[in-house]
């Protein structure tokens, strides 16, 4: 049995091209569009010998693999490592890295905590926080969009929504980045991120305990499920960990990338100003256009066939969501950022039973931010170069100097 990066390497399926590329090269991670296009041009799948994986980036196959939890499981890890063969860096998530039937139990509790009704109650708080932040940035004039805005907003509203008693911005943002980087190969990016684990993980785990949570909020709803006998106390803590894993760095990235879109396409910002109700569809289009979560894996748990390609059991499949979201065979004028597109079916939140359970929170946060900008900001100038930060699973900005001009 040959193994690379902790998973079994199958033989190359008939008809699938072998592609000597490193999808985790920092250059590609920072600027992935050409790689996305090349991947789609290879066909439904390409075999990447460097990691012994099949990769897909066309919309149809990516959606099929990603959405079929019966053949393509999550319990063997959604990164390169096969949990059946090697021990993951942290105890697996009890919602992300599990399959049915167990998955339904934890998913149900999270869906309840993050329900449209629960999120509706937060909208006013999100709007107030967004208005205040945009006022502060207008006052400043020029600012660092990642550090002064994208990181600030979620850290002001999300820990409060969870009910955390303590907030540590660096720990929260870096923990998210660590969890996503861990999904990649054992490269320098992953090692550097994981080196922070001893400083951060104990703090994160501590915040997940019942006594460190307020009696209202997402965390309290999760612990109420433990009181009702649906979950153990330990499972409740693990679900709070999931909120802290997936709820901060993702929305930081979503805000940063949506801002980058508006700064890069002033005509689209003009449309948003003319109709601030476009804030929500503008965020959806920014998600499609930039795919904050660019790649997640699945593992074939059975022999399978997709688009005529025979996929052997145990194969790791790189689902390149960022490529699927720009597939011109599916999206008319895929390379055009258009806030009126309404890109239903984009894969930025995934699809199927594992589709992002926090997507309504993310939408409410970013809608609040974009609405406040539409109402208060007259023009957005990119005053320097926008630089992307390579991450093994997230396509995110590192820094972007901006100036907001008042209306
Ligand atoms: C988790 C989790 C959920 C979604 C994404 C994620 C890799 C983590 O449950 O820990 O980031």
Q: In what order do the strands lie in the sheet with 377-382?
A: 142-144, 401-406, 377-382
Is it the case that residue 308 has pLDDT exceeding 80? yes
Is it the case that residue 232 has pLDDT exceeding 80? yes
Residue whose CB lies within 8 A of the most ligand 1 atoms, among 78, 89, 92, 93, for a mutation test: 93
Ligand 1 atom closest to 78 (CA)? 7
Q: Please determine, looking at this structure, whether the domain spanning 3-406 carries the CATH number 1.10.630.10.
A: yes
pLDDT at position 9 is 87
Please give the average per-residue pLDDT across 384-406, as a whole number. 98
Provide the pairing of β-strand 7-8 with 387-389: unpaired
Task: Round the average pLDDT of the chain to a whole number and report it.
Answer: 97
pLDDT at position 10 is 86
pTM value is 0.98
> What is the band of 2 on the pLDDT scale with cuts at 50, 70, 90?
confident
Ligand 1 atom closest to 94 (CA)? 9
Provide the β-strand partners of residue 377. 406
* Cα within 13 Å of Cα(301), Cβ side: 16
CA of 77 to the centre of ligand 1 (A): 11
291 lines ligand 1 (CB under 6 A): no
Please give the average per-residue pLDDT across 143-167, as a whole number. 98
Residue nearest to atom 4 of ligand 1 (CA): 246
Is it the case that residue 114 has pLDDT exceeding 80? yes
Q: Tell me how far CA of residue 380 lies from CA of 5, 73, 134, 275, in angstroms.
A: 43, 43, 12, 17
Domain ranges of the chain: 3-406
181 lines ligand 1 (CB under 6 A): no
Please give the average per-residue pLDDT across 365-392, as a whole number. 98
Residue whose CB lies within 8 A of the most ligand 1 atoms, among 246, 348, 351, for a mutation test: 246
pLDDT at position 122 is 98
Q: Tell me how far CA of residue 227 lies from CA of 217, 221, 357, in angstroms.
A: 15, 10, 22
* Cα within 13 Å of Cα(64), Cβ side: 16
């Amino acid at each position: 049995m040959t193994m690379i990066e902790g998973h079994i390497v199958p033989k190359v399926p008939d008809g699938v091209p072998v592609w000597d590329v490193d999808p985790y090269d920092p250059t590609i991670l920072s600027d992935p569009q050409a790689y996305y296009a090349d991947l789609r041009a290879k066909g439904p799948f390409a075999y990447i010998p460097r990691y012994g994986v099949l990769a897909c980036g066309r919309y149809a196959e990516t959606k099929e693999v990603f959405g079929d939890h019966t053949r393509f499981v999550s319990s063997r890890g959604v990164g390169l490592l096969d949990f059946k063969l090697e021990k993951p860096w942290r105890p697996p998530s009890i919602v992300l890295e599990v399959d049915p039937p167990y998955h339904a139990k934890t998913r149900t509790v999270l869906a309840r905590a993050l329900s449209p009704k629960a999120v509706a109650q937060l909208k006013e708080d999100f709007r107030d926080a967004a208005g205040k932040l945009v006022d502060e940035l207008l006052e400043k004039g020029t600012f660092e969009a990642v550090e002064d805005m994208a990181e600030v907003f979620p850290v002001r509203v999300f820990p409060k929504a969870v009910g955390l008693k303590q907030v540590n911005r660096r720990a929260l943002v870096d923990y998210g980045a660590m969890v996503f980087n861990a999904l990649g190969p054992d490269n320098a990016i992953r090692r550097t991120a994981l080196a922070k684990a001893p400083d951060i993980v104990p703090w994160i785990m501590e915040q997940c305990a019942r006594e460190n949570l307020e009696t209202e909020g997402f965390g309290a709803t999760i612990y109420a499920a433990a009181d009702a006998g649906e979950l153990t106390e330990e499972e409740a803590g693990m679900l709070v960990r999931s909120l802290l894993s997936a709820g901060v760095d993702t929305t930081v990235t979503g805000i940063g990338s949506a801002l980058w879109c508006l700064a890069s396409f002033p005509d689209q910002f003009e449309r948003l100003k003319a109709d601030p109700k476009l804030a929500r569809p503008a965020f959806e289009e920014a998600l499609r256009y930039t795919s904050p979560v660019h790649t997640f894996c699945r593992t074939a748990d059975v022999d399978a066939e997709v688009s005529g390609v025979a996929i052997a059991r145990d194969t790791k499949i790189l689902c390149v969501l960022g490529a699927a979201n720009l597939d011109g065979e599916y999206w008319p004028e895929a390379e055009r950022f258009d806030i009126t597109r309404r890109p239903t079916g984009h894969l930025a939140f995934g699809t199927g039973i594992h589709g992002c359970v926090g997507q309504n929170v993310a939408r409410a946060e970013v809608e609040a931010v974009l609405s406040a900008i539409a109402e208060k900001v007259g023009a957005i100038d990119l005053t320097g170069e926008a630089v992307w930060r390579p991450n093994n699973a997230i396509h995110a900005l590192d820094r972007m100097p901006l100036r907001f001009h008042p209306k």
